[in-house]
Amino acid sequence: MTGAAATIEAVFRREHGRIIATLIRLSGSFDLAEEALQDAFTSALQDWAENGIPRNPAAWITTAAHRKLIDRVRRSRTVQEKQAPLLYETQIYSVPDDTFLEEGHTFPDDRLRLIFTCCHPALNLEAQVGLTLRTLCGLTTPEIARAFLMPEPTLAQRIVRAKRKIRDAGIPYEVPPLAVLPQRLASVQSVIYLVFNEGYSATEGDQLIRRDLCQEAIRLGKILCEILPDQPESMGLLALMLLQDSRRRARINDQGNLVTLEEQDRSLWDQGEIKQGQALVERALRKHAVGPYQLQAAIAAVHAEAATAAETDWSQISGLYTELERISPTPVVALNRAVAVAMSEGLERGLALIDEAGLTGELSQYHLFYAARADILRRLGRGQEAAEAYEQALRFNVNRVEREYLRRRLTELTTI
């Protein structure tokens, strides 16, 4: 890869979301903004190869993209009404034809408006995820489709429909009013965490971890903390993702097999991410506005503090889950608390709570419910019941790596 190409790739990954957000605000069109930015990168590849890399590559790209956007609007008959305001606003950012932006010149950060637009409640969750990854992260449609094991035409249609709905419904390109901001922010955080979880424990397919999705979610989490620096739940979300991601190298062994948290080689955990996560948890909790992401991050931090599995402070984890269940009473949280109780207060007590969590019926197709139950039964020496639970877990799990782990556990029980 040439120096120009490598620099362009770095600028794309680092600045794509910032630049595209400004272009969308100026043009009112996702498509025009994307086309203008693509044209700018194409021009940069040719210009920088001939004339050298500019002192401020990101500013060069941004200025070129604004010019490309003006050219496209002038040629477009369908957006004539946008031309006057666009030309007026772009004068603020444009510079003479023979110069480019000086070092240190910055554009207004429109990413906050963009992420709220992408995650507007009028769009379904799949569209929110696809549009967020497409615009803010700069992932291509094929990349997103592969990551979520979805046919490319299906994903492309969803993104097109989402853009059309934003346009036709007049969804505002803005940060929501203060009265509804917490609810809308929760939607944004949920989308980011969904992206991370799909990368951390893939729903389907042959891989347990999709590192690219984890990285993109963490990047989005950092953007959210950057543009809303005092929001404790955003800090908690980023901390949670960093602390969970810190274990990635230990979760799969050299043979490609799943390694549970209890069995992991903790020397492989990423200490840099752990320190970042712990600092964020402490900073968030000092805001005295505790939420679910902060509590989950605190639980992950307790695991990270234990040098060995045996040193894990399960009593503290159980207490944190009790508080989490109080403010977020879901069956999955109840299940996780039950496991912590089993490890801190006794296996029989934990098993009773697991069965109680299952009474709602909401976990009837959740493979981790059966896997957790099987693990406790195995520890209790109730092999036949544990085997039945492992078989039920296999019925509802479609990830190859996790299925192989469950089969190994089942085989161990049936060959004793």
Once rounded to an integer, what is the mean pLDDT over residues 261-286?
96
HEC string for the chain: CCHHHHHHHHHHHHHHHHHHHHHHHHHCCHHHHHHHHHHHHHHHHHHHHHHCCCCCHHHHHHHHHHHHHHHHHHHCCCCHHHHHHHHHHHHHHCCCCCCCCCCCCCCCCCHHHHHHHHCCCCCCHHHHHHHHHHHCCCCCHHHHHHHCCCCHHHHHHHHHHHHHHHHHCCCCCCCCCCCCHHHHHHHHHHHHHHHHHHHHCCCEECCCCCHHHHHHHHHHHHHHHHHCCCCHHHHHHHHHHHHHHCCHHHCECCCCCECCHHHCCHHHCCHHHHHHHHHHHHHHHCCCCCCHHHHHHHHHHHHHHCCCHHHCCHHHHHHHHHHHHHHCCCHHHHHHHHHHHHHHHCHHHHHHHHHHHHCCCCCCCCHHHHHHHHHHHHHCCCHHHHHHHHHHHHHCCEEHHHHHHHHHHHHHHHCC
Domains belonging to the chain, first-starting first, are 3-93 (1.10.1740), 112-327 (no CATH)
pLDDT of residue 400: 83
Q: Give the type of residue at 108.
A: P
Residue 99 above 70 pLDDT?
no
Q: Tell me the average pLDDT across 324-339.
A: 95
Angle between helices 125-135 and 111-118 (to 10 degrees): 150
Query: Tell me: the pLDDT tens digits for 376-395?
Result: 999 999 999 999 999 999 99
Would you place residue 165 in the very low, low, confident or very high pLDDT band (cuts 50, 70, 90)? very high
Exposed/middle/buried for 220, CB within 10 Å: 0-12, 13-18, 19+?
buried
Tell me the Cα Rg of the chain.
24
Least Cα distance to 208 among 402, 409, 405 occurs for 402
Higher per-residue pLDDT: 100 or 222: 222
Would you tell me how many other CB atoms lie within 10 Å of the CB of residue 30? 24
CA–CA separation, 9 and 368 (whole Å): 40
Confidence of residue 160 (pLDDT cuts 50, 70, 90): very high
pLDDT in tens, 181-211: 888 898 899 989 988 887 887 544 445 556 7
Q: In the structure, what pLDDT confidence band is assigned to residue 227 with cuts at 50, 70 and 90?
A: confident
Percentage, residues of the chain above pLDDT 90: 50
> Please, which pLDDT band fits residue 138 given cuts at 50, 70 and 90?
confident
Q: Which residue has the tokens 């092999």?
A: 383
Residue 174 confidence (pLDDT): 83
Asked if the model's pLDDT at residue 313 lies above 50, the reply is yes
114: Cβ contacts below 8 Å, ≥ 6 apart? 17, 20, 21, 24, 25, 135, 136, 173
The pLDDT of residue 241 is 97
